[in-house]
Each structure stands twice: as structure tokens, then as C-alpha cells.
Structure 1
Amino acid sequence: MNPINSPIELLRPARIEFGSGTLAQLGPWAREKGLHRILVVADAFNAARVDLLGLPGEVTVFGEVKPEPDLPNLEKVLALAERVQPDLVVGFGGGSAMDLAKLVAVLPGSGQTLHDVVGPEKVKGRRVALAQVPTTAGTGSEGGTRSLVTDPATQNKLAVQSRHMLADIAVVDPDLTMTVPPAVTAATGVDAMAHCAEAFTSRKAHPIIDLYALEGIRLVGRYLPRAVADGSDKEARAGLALASMYGGFCLGPVNTTAGHAVAYPLGTRHHIAHGLACALIFPHTLAFNAPAVAEKTALVLEALGARPATEEAAVFDAAYGFCERLGVEMRLSALNVPEDDLAIMADEAHAIRRLLDNNPRELGRDRILAMYRAAY
């Protein structure tokens, strides 16, 4: 963990509208800015309810965002953006839609390709406005500067980080999450919590981010079981939306660790939803890291409403029980992952150094494989 006087930079959207009914603020904001040629980037479900955004002017909708978006998916929406020439791009959906919206806001007309900007701060600039409207409580992408796209040729996620991809406005209206079914609510909620827990226990952890991280975990522990049991619970939905946003705040300056690295091949190779993959892996990596960050691990479990523990087996049981009680499928075999793929998945996960190098305990390829086998 970094000492309190370590330099750190926090970037937040210039304007954040949070709470029930705040979606009504987006249209007036766009009018005030004189934005009238708008491209909405959404999945099929949210494309069908784009009228809720109340946007002015000429609105074009790209409604084909895929879960775990890949290069062809990005190229398709970039081609549309080149034709439309929007002055405002709106990400409307979960993390996949918002991640693509970030790239759509910076790449067209820039002379840069996706491969040119992979890595930190390689984007030249941005000429259009960017708004983000999350409809799930998971990624916190509305508050961050990162975008992830899968390269089908390598089965790896390409990560872009740029201050130019930070939203001008983020509208976090938890009422938009009321239609999310229980299984997706559970998985995305654990993903939000994993962002916070991994940042909290990272080698790059910083006291200024710990504040968001620990409170995000507490919000998930308090409200996720309620939202899974009753999707119409407005207070619980708001609590999860806040936890998700806090998790997004953790990603820029600190980022995730082994949990996400081990989860990524489940999405890129087997198209398992990102939140579900993170939930399934979470107990394994939290327990593995416990000896290196015992005090913080105990605080994570306490925040989730479990008995504080630091011994690996007890930590695993507590974290696994939290996820299992939410109804999360915790077996790779039940998700149609071939057992023969576990070894190559371990190779792929172990190669994700940008995350594993943040982990508080060195995690080798053989131990990753053992995690996959234990989860099978």
C-alpha cells in the first residue's frame, strides 16, 4: 500500500447527476450545450427505450453492443460514427456500451486506430461531447477513463486508458436498473464489489481510494441481497448504483488485481458475462491474497456482513458463501467451460501483467490453474 503522501491523481466527470429521476437532466444539459447531432451507443434492450433519454435534435442509435464487445463490434459502431459525425456520444447500458462509447468519442477523425491507443494516455484528444448513462450497477464505467475491447485473434482484452475518455456528464439514475433480473443483479453487484475489494488490497492501494473502496464494499454487503430478493427495492438499487460508481472511481488511479486477471479468460474465451466471471473467481483470489493483506481482508469480510477472518480457508468459505447465497453459479462446469481449456486459460490469465503486477501476493501460473480446477 502507498503511504498517504504518495502522489495520486483523481479524475471525475465534470458533472455527476445521481439519484432517482436524474435522467431528466440529460436532455436539458444537451440543449444547454447546443448539442443536436447525437449518437447513442446501446445494447438491443436499451436501444428500444432510448426515448427515455429525452435527447434533442437528430438522434442516431447503435443498438448492437455485445456483451464483452470485440473488435468487429467496435469497428461497426465506429463506421456509423464516421457517417453520422455526432457532436455528442451517449453510452446507454452496462459497461460494454459505455466502454464502446468512450472509444467512439475519441477515435473517429483522429487518425488513430484502437491499436494505436492501447495502454495509458495515448489518445490525442476529443472533439465531441461524451455522456454516460449506466443501466446496471456493476462496472462503474461512467466514472472512469478506461475502455476494454476483446481482440478475437488473441482472445485478449485490449485496455485503453485516457483522460480524454472521461465523461462530460454521468447520469446515474438507479431507477434504470429496476428491470435488471436477479441473476444479473447478483453478478454485476459482485463485480462492483470486486473492483473495490481488489483496489483496497492492491499493491497500489492508496488511502484516498480506500475511502471509496471500503464504503463500496459496505454498500454491496448491505444492499445486494436486498436487490436480488426484491428488484423493486429503490433504496437497494440506489445503494448498488453508488457502490458501482465508487468502484469505477477506484479503477483509474489503482485498478484491479488478480481477481479480474483470472476472470478475463472466462469472458474472452467462453463469453461468460464479466460480472458472473468476477463473482465466480472472487472467493478464490480473495482467499489467496489473505496472508499478504490480512487486516484489509478481514475488513472486506466484515463489510460484507461476514465474520472477519484472515486464514485462507475461512476467508474462502465466507466469500464463497456470500456469492452462493445470492444465487450466483459458482462452478465452471455448469457454465459449459471445457475442462481441457483450463490450462490455456491459466496461460492467458498469467500473461495479464498489467493486473497481476498489482496483486499483493505473487500469483503463478500453476496456482491460477489450481484455482480454475477448484472452481470447476
Structure 2
Amino acid sequence: MHRGRVVFGAMDEVVFGRPAREAIVEQLDRLGAERAFLMVSGTLNRETDEIEKVRAALGPRCVGTFDKMPAHTPRAAVIAAAEQARGAKADLIVTIGGGSITDGAKAVQLCLANNVTTSDGIETIRTHGGVSPAMHPPTVRQISVPTTIAGGEFSSIAGVTNEAKRQKEMLRHPLVMPRATILDPELSVHTPEWLFLSTGIRAVDHCVEGICSREAHPYGDAQALKGLEMLATGLPRVKANPKDISARMDCQIGTWLSTGPLASGVPMGASHGIGYVLGAEFDVPHGYTSCVMLPAVMRWNKRDNADRQALVAAAMGHAGADAGDVLDRFIRDLGMPRSLQEVRVGPEHFDRIATQAMRTPWVPRNPRKIDDPSQVREILEMAA
């Protein structure tokens, strides 16, 4: 018998397949916002006219632009953005860019609401042992226009890197989820190929770990299986023709669906847990961590969840095949890295990674029980 609880997030709507600049103006009208603060990709702002088009559409309702958010959302950049948003008296944050920017704006919302003005101040709003401290809810909310496809815009969790400790820390509040997400595939054409495709594998990882979880349920399965099918056909089409807008749209919708399990309480597993450590400690891009770890995690877990893994292979169009092999080949064919060596992580680091991974929220909930770091090390050796 299934048991569980599905909590609907604080997002009002998802708009897809329309130009972002039109949809953003409609959202401001809907929300009665007058002072929109843009947090955007530096590349989009400096090397294309896309952000300028949005500013023009907003006119005097745009009160500032922040375009200096590095990968992995470091604390210092969050504070700088919050400072600028505070000075601009923003009443809404609009993000246009990748996951680091989306997460950055989530953190900025909490900084504004709780008067956090220094990097150390972030200590007071981050989760400790998975539990969020008591804090004021955000009143300046956000809308998001993602240009990568890792899916962070559909969650109420932000990862922020503590530069001093080189650790990714979580901030969590139901209201940091964007009030609306706008999926405009045209904007993603500017995203570097490696970034679009690798974040697509991140979305695949959300689907796969959701489907393979011990705590999977039909509501999460329905979304993850359909999302996986759309990503499995869409990503190779984008690789073959970067101007295929309908393939990009499929990838964006597949990504939205990929967040179904996590949003409905299904935990991720060791691929996500180990990925957190590789990102924070070794600066491995988010998507690459999934490219390298997911097939190894699947092979290690197969002893305990072969039935669920069969669903993965079937959704990817290879019924009856080994899911680890299907994923391995799929990731390789997209030209993504497939080993820790390729992302410059050597065996001398495995003990440290294994110890750190045990402290993440997901490794303890991996479908095949992981009781100590030596088991994480076995997975790392398979991915070496």
C-alpha cells in the first residue's frame, strides 16, 4: 500500500512557449508589481540584447539589474545582490538565467525579509541538520525565466556555497519558490551547448532517482516517467540541431515534470548526494556531477531495485535493457563526461568525498541502504 503526502508548492502558474518579455510584463500586471529587480545571466546581459528587450518592455518598472552571480551561488554574491535589491526598493525579483541565479534570488528573498546584510548573517537563515530556523517569510517574491534545465525554479530550496568551508548549504522556505516560471525556449539558444545538455542530464537524474526511490509513489512516477521520455528524445534532438526550438521546449517541459517526485516528497539518492560534494568541493558543474555519477549509482543500486530500474530503461526507449548501460550510452552520445577522471577528481580524494557525502540529505535515503563511507567509496570507484 502506498503512503505519502503531496504538498503543492507556492507557485501560481507556469507559462510556456511564449516570448519571455511579454510573459514577464503580464506577470507584473497580474501581481501588481511596480519595481522589478532583474537578476540575470552576465553573458545574456553583456553579449546579447535579450535582457535589453526585457528592460525595454518593462520601462520604468525595471529598477535595477544584477548580473554577477558566479556558479554555485557563493554567499558574497548573494549579499551583493540583496544589497542592490534593497537599495532599489524592489517589490519583485525577476531572474533570467541558470540555476545559480534562480537559487541566488531565492536566497536574496530571505536576506531581504530577515535583514541579513553580511555573509556570516546567512548562517541565521540556512538549514541546520535539514531543519530551517524560525524566520520571517519573504515579502519580495520572484518570477523565474530559466535558461538551463536543471529544474531549480520548481523547488523551494536554494543551495548557497559557503566559500570559507567550500560547502553547499541549503536555505529553505515554502515562499522562496517563484510565483511563476516562464519557459521560453528561444532564450536557451544562447546557453552554451555543454551547459544546456549537462543540466538536461541533471533533470534526467531527478526523474531517475525519483522513479528508483524506495519512497516512490504514483503521483511522482507519472510526472517523472513522462519527463524522462521527453528528455530522452529531446536532448539528442537539441544536440543534432541547436536551433530546434520545439526540441528545446520538450526538454524544458521534461525538466518541469522531472521535479514532480522531489516536489511531492520523494527523496533523491546517492547521485544527488555525491553530486553536492563534487560541486562544492571540486567546482564540478552541477550537470556534470549527474553525467559522471548516475550510471554508477544505478549499477550499485540494481541489487535492490531492478524492478524500478526496468521502468527507467523502458521510458528511455530501451525496454529490457540494463538502465545503467542505457544511461551510460545516452550520456556518452551527448558528448558529456563519463568519469571522475574527466572532471579532474582523482582517487586520492575519494575518502574525503565519501565522508562528506554521508552528511548530505540524500545519501542516507539512497534506495540501496548506505551505512558508511566505504560504500560510497565503492560507487566512486565504479565512476573513477
Q: Does the 8 Å CA contact 1:91/1:100 hold for their aligned counterparts?
A: no
Pairing of 1:281-292 with structure 2 (within 5 A): 281-292=293-304
1:322 is matched by which residue type in structure 2? F
Deviations 1:173-219 (A, max 9, x none): 11211223332232111101101111122233222111111111111
Show the counterpart of 2:52: 51
- CA 1:243–1:36 in structure 2 vs 1: closer, same or farther (change >3 Å)? same
- 1:36 is paired with a residue whose SS is coil
Pairing of 1:158-197 with structure 2 (within 5 A): 158-197=169-208
Which range is displaced more, 277-286 or 48-57?
48-57
From 322, 325, 337, give the equivalent of 1:317.
Answer: 325
From 243, 254, 262, give the equivalent of 2:266.
Answer: 254
Aligned equivalents of 1:343 and 1:89: distance in 2?
41
Considering only aligned residues, what root-mean-square deviation do their CA atoms show, in Å? 2.0
Which range is displaced more, 281-290 or 331-340?
331-340
Aligned equivalents of 1:342 and 1:65: distance in 2?
29
Q: What stretches of structure 2 of length at least 5 have no aligned partner? A: none
Aligned equivalents of 1:30 and 1:368: distance in 2?
47
Show the counterpart of 1:104: 108
Q: Does the 8 Å CA contact 2:10/2:174 hold for their aligned counterparts?
A: no
- CA 1:58–1:182 in structure 2 vs 1: closer, same or farther (change >3 Å)? closer
Aligned equivalents of 2:12 and 2:31: distance in 1?
13
Show the counterpart of 1:140: 151
- 2:191 is paired with a residue whose SS is coil
Show the counterpart of 1:365: 373
Pairing of 1:36-115 with structure 2 (within 5 A): 36-48=34-46, 49-53=50-54, 54-56=57-59, 57-111=61-115, 113-115=121-123
Alignment TM-score, normalising by the size of structure 1: 0.91
Show the counterpart of 2:24: 26
- CA 1:173–1:58 in structure 2 vs 1: closer, same or farther (change >3 Å)? closer
Kindly indicate whether residue 9 of structure 2 is the aligned counterpart of residue 11 of structure 1: yes
- CA 1:172–1:103 in structure 2 vs 1: closer, same or farther (change >3 Å)? same
- CA 1:4–1:180 in structure 2 vs 1: closer, same or farther (change >3 Å)? same
Pairing of 1:270-309 with structure 2 (within 5 A): 270-309=282-321
Show the counterpart of 2:275: 263
- CA 1:181–1:111 in structure 2 vs 1: closer, same or farther (change >3 Å)? closer
Q: Does the 8 Å CA contact 2:143/2:181 hold for their aligned counterparts?
A: yes
The alpha carbon displacement at 1:12 in A equals: 5.1
Aligned equivalents of 1:222 and 1:20: distance in 2?
22
Show the counterpart of 2:235: 224
2:282 is matched by which residue type in structure 1? H
Show the counterpart of 1:35: 33
Q: What stretches of structure 1 of length at least 5 have no aligned partner? A: none
The alpha carbon displacement at 1:65 in A equals: 1.0
1:359 is matched by which residue type in structure 2? N
Q: Does the 8 Å CA contact 1:106/1:164 hold for their aligned counterparts?
A: no
Q: Does the 8 Å CA contact 2:151/2:256 hold for their aligned counterparts?
A: yes
- CA 1:319–1:58 in structure 2 vs 1: closer, same or farther (change >3 Å)? closer
1:256 is matched by which residue type in structure 2? M
Deviations 1:346-374 (A, max 9, x none): 2111221x112321111241132233233
The alpha carbon displacement at 1:23 in A equals: 4.2
Q: Does the 8 Å CA contact 2:208/2:224 hold for their aligned counterparts?
A: yes
Q: Does the 8 Å CA contact 1:92/1:134 hold for their aligned counterparts?
A: yes
The alpha carbon displacement at 1:22 in A equals: 5.0
2:136 is matched by which residue type in structure 1? K
- CA 1:83–1:199 in structure 2 vs 1: closer, same or farther (change >3 Å)? same
The alpha carbon displacement at 1:115 in A equals: 2.5
Pairing of 1:318-337 with structure 2 (within 5 A): 318-337=326-345
Equivalences, count: 368
Q: Does the 8 Å CA contact 1:12/1:143 hold for their aligned counterparts?
A: no
Seq. identity, %: 23
- CA 1:325–1:50 in structure 2 vs 1: closer, same or farther (change >3 Å)? same
The alpha carbon displacement at 1:281 in A equals: 0.6
